[in-house]
Structure 1
Amino acid sequence: MSSRDVIILPGGGYPAQAPLLMYAGEAAGRRGGVIRPISWDTPEELLTLTADQRGPWVLDQLARGVPDLQDGSLLIGKSLGTHAAAVAAERGLPAVWLTPLLTSQFVVDGLRRSTAPFLLVGGTADTLWDSGVARELTPYVLEVDGADHGMFVPGRLAASAAVLGQVATAVEDFLDEIL
């Protein structure tokens, strides 16, 4: 992955250093990527935004956090950060979208317009995930039975830790194939 910028976009309450994003970023970093995590300026402002306002807000935050976004960058986003699919589509950037908001028309429209490959990761117990839409959008899908929006599964924590391992492996496999 020859020195490509890897932009890490957090979720609404899930920072770039949290496990799913950290491991996805590490996978890209081990392949030569330069990790550039961003954080939201005012996350409390999110509570006042409507669903229609969240997409433009995320795009503004991305533009502020990475004003020098390079062609060839890789985007990795979780939940709220998946609104940046619009930028990936516009710029032809590959992406890894963790628990994408597949119930948001803004996100799905961005994904539909994407020309570069992208990986979608979600769970069947996540109300914001739509298996049919995911498989319609990309051949690169990891769906975990019983996983919720945090990619936790019922039972002992070791089972959820194993899901984290599955996600890390899916990201590695995706990056090895497309980059």
Structure 2
Amino acid sequence: MINITADSVKGYKDEMVPYSLLSKKDKADTLVVMFPGGGYTVNFPLLYYPTLAFLERSFDVLQVNYRTDFYSTLSDEEFDRALIHDVRKVLEHFLQKKNTYKDFYFIGNSLGTIAMSAVLSNEPFIHAKAVWLTPLLTQDYVFNAMLKSISPGLCFIGDNDPFFNQERFNQLRENERIDLKFFEGATHRLEVDNTIETIEILKQVIQEIEQF
């Protein structure tokens, strides 16, 4: 049985930031933290099925459900600042209550890779396994974090993605810690025109994450 515990913490400008913990046992050794995209929530395939796969391994899964509707009222600079602030608050609040974990996984999708880039440089997450789902390669902050990361990493991206940059993708090959997975014609949601091929991409992503 999956246990779901919902909570929230006061974040940027006193806005409440909700989060949920999904677990199958009381004392898991591994915590998986999900950083969803703007319109791509934890209930969408690229995050939903990996969540189930991790729960099958009796890992705890922490889903950060930040308020993108609130962030949309902010300037670009303040948007990033608010997002990073809120994610750090959630992790701090949660780990003060439950800090029994030996290992960590981070899974970030789209704008979630901004938050992931920030917290990966902090203890105790420096060596967390990082899964970059359609990262925002056009953003210097995300690109530089990936390029310099010492964390084991998996990256999934396609070239029909407005945030894909071929030159930067090639540069990421310099970081041997990150295993790069490229899907020709795939969009920002890792979808292509053919439904069956899209399902095959999803299957490969889940299998790669399971083996990571």
TM-score with structure 1 setting the length: 0.84
Which of 117, 132, 142 is the matching residue for 2:181?
A: 142
* d(CA) in 2 for partners of 1:135, 1:154: 28
- Contact in 2 for aligned 1:79/1:100 (Cα 8 Å): yes
Displacement of 1:32 after TM fit?
3.3
CA gap of 1:132–1:50, structure 2 versus 1, over 3 A, is: farther
Other-structure match for 2:53: 27
Other-structure match for 1:66: 91
- Contact in 1 for aligned 2:161/2:188 (Cα 8 Å): yes
Choose between structure 1 and 2: higher helix proportion: 1
Displacement of 1:17 after TM fit?
1.8
Q: Secondary structure at the match of 1:90?
A: coil
Choose between structure 1 and 2: higher strand proportion: 2
* 1:171 matched to 2:209: yes
* d(CA) in 2 for partners of 1:57, 1:72: 27
Q: Deviations over 1:117-143 (max 9, x none)?
A: 111111111121233144334441111
Identity %, equivalent residues: 28
Structure 1 stretches of 5 or more lacking a match? none
* 1:162 matched to 2:200: yes
* d(CA) in 1 for partners of 2:178, 2:31: 24
Which of 164, 173, 196 is the matching residue for 1:129?
A: 164
CA gap of 1:110–1:56, structure 2 versus 1, over 3 A, is: farther
Displacement of 1:4 after TM fit?
0.7
Moved more, 138-147 or 27-36: 27-36
Which of 27, 32, 39 is the matching residue for 2:65?
A: 39
Displacement of 1:106 after TM fit?
1.2
Displacement of 1:53 after TM fit?
3.3
CA gap of 1:23–1:136, structure 2 versus 1, over 3 A, is: farther
Q: Deviations over 1:121-175 (max 9, x none)?
A: 11111121233144334441111111000111023x22211111111112122x2
Displacement of 1:15 after TM fit?
0.7
TM-score with structure 2 setting the length: 0.72
* d(CA) in 2 for partners of 1:104, 1:98: 14
- Contact in 1 for aligned 2:146/2:172 (Cα 8 Å): no
* d(CA) in 2 for partners of 1:118, 1:52: 27
Moved more, 44-53 or 83-92: 44-53
Q: Secondary structure at the match of 1:66?
A: helix
